[in-house]
């Protein structure tokens, strides 16, 4: 089954430091890829998406992700973490079968 793997269930960064969240997908056919953010007790908010256009995708709140077919990766980065970035982040993949398949999530904590 097609799937997506997020490396690291918890990431802790200092305020102002680089945020790097890793996501790898399993398929020889490039899918559509997404990053979502979930704040406590809230729904999912779309950060950014890759739909086979530019491989470097810019999203909201200063986040961006790069699609690398050779590495089957779609890692999420933000150059400078802010306290408000503390949340859970989900990578998801879409293979044209109506459903999104989500990774297990990465919880980000930001240290002052």
Partner 1 sequence: NAGVMQNPRHLVRRRGQEARLRCSPMKGHSHVYWYRQLPEEGLKFMVYLQKENIIDESGMPKERFSAEFPKEGPSILRIQQVVRGDSAAYFCASSLRVGDSYEQYFGPGTRLTVT
Which residues of the shown chain bind partner 1 in the complex (CB under 8 A)? 32, 34, 36, 41-46, 49, 51, 90, 92, 94, 96-105
d(CA 96, CA 77): 26
d(CA 28, CA 95): 11
> Any bridge partners for residue 14, and if so which?
111
Nearer to partner 1, 20 or 104 (CB): 104
Closest CA to 6 of 88, 87, 78: 88
- Minimum CB separation from partner 1 for residue 12, in Å? 17
Q: Transcribe 25-60 into DSSP letters.
A: EE-SS--EEEEEEE-TT--EEEEEEE-SS-SEEE-G
- Minimum CB separation from partner 1 for residue 98, in Å? 5
Secondary structure (3-state) at 18: coil
Nearer to partner 1, 77 or 101 (CB): 101
- Minimum CB separation from partner 1 for residue 28, in Å? 19
- Minimum CB separation from partner 1 for residue 86, in Å? 17
């Amino acid at each position: 089954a097609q799937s997506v793997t997020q490396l690291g269930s918890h990431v802790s960064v200092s305020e102002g430091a680089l945020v790097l969240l890793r996501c790898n997908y399993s398929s020889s056919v490039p899918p559509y890829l997404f990053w979502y953010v979930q704040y406590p007790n809230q729904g999912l908010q779309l950060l950014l998406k890759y739909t086979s256009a530019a491989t470097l995708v810019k999203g909201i709140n200063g986040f961006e992700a790069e699609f690398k077919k050779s590495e089957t990766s779609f890692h999420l980065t933000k150059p400078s973490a802010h306290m408000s970035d503390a949340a859970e982040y989900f990578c998801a993949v879409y293979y044209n079968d109506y459903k999104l398949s989500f990774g297990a999530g990465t919880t980000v904590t930001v240290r002052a």
